[in-house]
């Protein structure tokens, strides 16, 4: 094993703000001035804390509007315009938005509202009461090391077995989801916005770990990106892990299965493309639950604060936008040659294999404290030290060999290959179907940049040495 120790020239720190709703603006501005006054001497890790200008306020108000509008546009295109966003936009220009919404827009129904309420409650009960091993996440900027119960795989199995059993007993239409999609979509949006508002108010009134909160001075930014890092109800019900890993993610594969049933009921046959896309989706979702403990160290849990971005995103964006391929195929079947399907499916499997191999290397090295082989050789890594805001010093291992010596984000390459395959299997040029790979490319490139900024702030000179040894961010020779 090769270890590289570097003496840090800077001491990372974080500014923890503890405020009430009444003195929020005054305290957050004070913290922003403090951040500016110390920026030349110290580095802040965790989310940055200066988003006060009116321009930034305007900027951060756009995602709260644009994301729901994108989801609504895809819903409308599927509902009445053959899955074509161009046909939808032409209709809006010709007839106006209100007539289009009146004809094809989502409508809240009591059945859909009851279904969403039951769904959220059912997943909450499974999350809270199912047994499972306990694992700790990554240490927070304030020094907390939180414990989580890993029962997601069991929750996924129980949910799908219950769904299949109810359908087999004729107690539930297997195509219930697409047949009630207009109401479910509306109810999901209400739930997502409602939970986002609850999270925002909770951060002021009943915070779980006040010293890990981040206030920007911009209410819209805080609503979108979140204030609390790990909001909990009681000691064990973690809102972030529940939202990220239960209602939306488990619904992903249920939506796919229900669209297969819907396709069969309408067309009296099953589409090979639909089956293969569902398999790739299932592999991705099951990988999450099988490796749920690893997920605790990813950017979603370890770094992102809990706001609209995660609350609405996981409750609405994931089940509605990540399933666009199966929704499209459920309504509008396509045909492709077996050779094409085998080739594209193989690319998806290869992408998943790369994704899993890359993450497994880092996980094995960290769990063994560096005493692991990578590609048959002792792991090479940097022992990077950092400090939390309580003054305690900690260390992490920055792997520099194997896939992690190839690029600093090789796992994202596998993710992109898998995402491409999910879209290409539909065998259409519809922009709606290809939205997923476009979204993932933008998201992962942005995450690369966020990771770089956070790594520099947290590890200082250790990160600089890491970047020197592994110069490529994503794809060697390109970026």
DSSP code per residue over 230-274: S-EETTTEEHHHHHHHTHHHHHHHHHHHHHHHHHHHHHSS--HHH
Nearest to 317 by CA among 98, 64, 42, 100: 64
Domain presence at residue 474: no
Q: How many CB atoms lie within 10 A of CB 39?
A: 11
Domain presence at residue 478: no
**pLDDT at residue 331 in the model:** 93
Domain presence at residue 479: no
The burial of 409, by beta-carbon neighbours within 10 Å (0-12 exposed, 13-18 middle, 19 or more buried), is given as buried
Domain presence at residue 454: yes
**pLDDT at residue 12 in the model:** 33
Domain presence at residue 390: yes
Two tokens, residue 341: 């399907």
Task: Give how many domains the chain has, as a whole number.
Answer: 1
Determine the Cα angle at 455 with ends 451 and 460, to 5°: 160
In a structure prediction context, what are the per-residue pLDDT tens digits for the chain, which is 479 residues long? 433 433 333 333 332 333 333 333 343 443 333 333 333 334 444 555 554 566 666 666 677 889 999 999 999 999 999 999 999 999 999 999 999 999 999 999 999 999 999 999 999 999 999 999 999 888 888 888 899 999 999 999 999 999 999 999 999 999 999 999 999 999 999 999 999 999 999 999 999 989 889 888 788 888 988 999 999 998 889 999 999 989 999 999 999 999 999 999 999 888 999 999 999 999 999 999 999 988 888 888 888 899 999 999 999 999 999 999 999 999 999 989 999 999 999 999 999 999 999 988 988 888 888 888 888 888 888 888 888 777 778 888 888 888 888 899 999 999 999 999 999 999 998 999 999 999 999 989 988 888 888 888 888 888 888 898 898 988 887 87
**pLDDT at residue 54 in the model:** 62
**pLDDT at residue 9 in the model:** 34
Determine the Cα angle at 322 with ends 320 and 326, to 5°: 85
Domain presence at residue 475: no
**pLDDT at residue 138 in the model:** 83
DSSP letters spanning 17-82: ----STTHHHHHHHHHHHHHHHTTT-EE-SS-----SHHHHHHHHHHHHHHHHHHHHHHHHHHHST
Domain presence at residue 168: yes
Domain extent, residue 63, equals 2-469
- Is residue 52 within 8 Å of 216, Cβ to Cβ? yes
Domain presence at residue 476: no
pTM of the entire predicted model: 0.83
């Amino acid at each position: 094993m090769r270890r590289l120790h570097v003496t840090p020239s800077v001491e990372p720190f974080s500014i923890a703000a503890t405020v009430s709703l009444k003195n929020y603006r005054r305290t957050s501005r004070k913290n922003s001035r403090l951040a500016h006054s110390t920026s030349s001497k110290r580095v802040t890790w965790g989310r940055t804390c200066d988003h006060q200008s009116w321009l930034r306020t305007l900027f951060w108000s756009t995602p709260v509007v644009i994301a729901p509008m994108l989801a609504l546009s895809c819903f409308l295109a599927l509902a009445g315009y053959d899955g074509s966003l161009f046909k939808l936009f032409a209709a809006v220009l010709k007839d106006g938005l209100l007539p289009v919404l009146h004809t094809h827009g989502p409508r809240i129904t009591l059945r859909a509202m009851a279904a969403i309420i039951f769904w959220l409650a059912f997943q909450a009960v499974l999350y809270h009461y199912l047994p499972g091993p306990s694992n700790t996440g990554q240490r927070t900027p304030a020094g907390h090391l939180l414990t989580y119960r890993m029962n997601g795989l069991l929750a996924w199995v129980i949910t799908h077995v219950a769904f299949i059993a109810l359908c087999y007993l004729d107690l539930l239409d297997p195509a219930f989801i697409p047949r009630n999609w207009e109401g479910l979509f509306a109810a999901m949006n209400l739930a997502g916005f409602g939970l986002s508002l609850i999270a925002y108010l909770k951060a002021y009134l009943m915070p779980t770990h006040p010293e890990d909160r981040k206030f920007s001075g911009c209410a819209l930014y805080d609503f979108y990106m979140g204030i609390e890092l790990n909001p909990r109800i009681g000691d064990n019900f973690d809102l972030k892990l529940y939202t990220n890993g239960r209602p939306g993610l488990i619904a992903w594969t249920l939506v796919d299965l229900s669209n297969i049933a819907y396709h069969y009921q309408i067309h009296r046959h099953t589409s090979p493309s639909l089956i293969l896309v569902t398999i790739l989706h299932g592999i991705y979702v099951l990988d999450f639950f099988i490796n749920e403990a690893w997920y605790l160290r990813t950017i979603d849990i370890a770094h992102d604060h809990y706001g609209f971005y995660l609350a609405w995103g996981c409750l609405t964006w994931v089940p509605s936008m990540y399933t666009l391929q199966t929704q499209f195929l459920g309504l509008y079947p396509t045909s492709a040659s077996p050779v094409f399907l085998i080739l594209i499916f193989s690319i998806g499997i290869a992408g998943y294999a790369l994704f899993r191999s890359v993450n497994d290397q880092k996980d094995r090295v960290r769990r063994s404290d560096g005493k692991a082989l990578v590609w048959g050789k002792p792991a090479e890594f940097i022992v990077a030290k950092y400090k939390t805001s309580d003054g305690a010093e900690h260390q992490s291992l920055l792997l520099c060999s194997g896939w992690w010596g190839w690029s600093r984000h090789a796992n994202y390459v596998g993710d992109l290959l898998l995402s491409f395959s999910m879209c290409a299997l539909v065998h259409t040029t519809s922009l709606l179907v290809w939205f997923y790979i476009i979204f993932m490319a933008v998201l992962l490139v942005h995450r690369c940049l966020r990771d770089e900024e956070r790594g520099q702030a947290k590890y200082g000179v250790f990160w600089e040495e890491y970047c020197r040894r592994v110069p490529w961010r994503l794809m060697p020779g390109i970026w």
